[in-house]
Amino acid sequence: MSLNSIFQYFVPKDKKFFPLFEQASTNLIDIAQALHEAVHTESLEQRKLHFKRVKDLEHKGDDITHQIHLELGKNFITPFDREDIHTLASALDDIADYIFDSANRMELYHVDVITEPIKELADLIVEAVTALSKGMHELRNLKNVRSIADAVVRVNSVENKADYVYNKAVGDLFLYETDAIALIKYKEVLATMETATDMCEDVANVLESILVKNA
């Protein structure tokens, strides 16, 4: 092993992991906003373009996650617990997956009429990932504990709102929707979007765990 390789092995990992986590969280805002724009446009052609952007950004997120895992395998020293790094990377990737799955189901199921609950859940997903990104950008030095804790609380609040929107929307579907196929389509889309907020809460829980371990 060359001297340069040895040096790279012990390079401070804030030059590797933190930028990647920040990229992942920023990408989540982009993908959430693409979904948001898709459900808030009346143009089916524009919606298709937004869905395409969601797909492209999900692939970008996969690449970032892969890079984090590669760095985890290559580096001996890490800025915090290795298991937490792996869990955090996977949880961030799960959010992107469920946002993409939400868009994909709308497109595959031809859900052309976007309901208010779908719009509300898209709004909440944007709110959740924006809060997460603020928390992720504070991980670099772990000095602004209050900011990270506030992000965690915000995400938990958003997830509770998403639960309410989802449960009410499904209740209304069973009460008013007479087309069984339409009921299934909308329920599937709503469930996937609500799960995206659950995944945001999972990331918030990991952030909270990192705070506790490094307090």
CA end-to-end distance (rounded Å), the chain = 36
Token pair for 78: 């890490």
Nearest partner of 67 among 14, 23, 8, 113, judged by Cα:
23
* pLDDT tens column, 14-55: 568 899 999 999 999 999 999 999 999 999 999 999 999 999
Which residues of the chain, if any, have pLDDT below 70?
Answer: 1-15, 76, 215
CA-angle at 130, arms to 137 and 208, nearest 5°: 55
- Domain limits of the chain? 12-213
Q: What is the pTM of this model?
A: 0.90
Q: Are 177 and 186 in contact (CB under 8 A)?
A: yes
- Residue 196 corresponds to which amino acid? A
Give residue 82's pLDDT: 84
Name the CATH code of domain 12-213 (choices 1.10.1060.10, 3.30.365.10, 1.20.58.220, 3.10.150.10). 1.20.58.220
Distance CA 89, CA 180 (A): 38
Give residue 20's pLDDT: 93
Between helix 44-74 and helix 17-39 the angle, nearest 10°, is 170
Give residue 14's pLDDT: 53
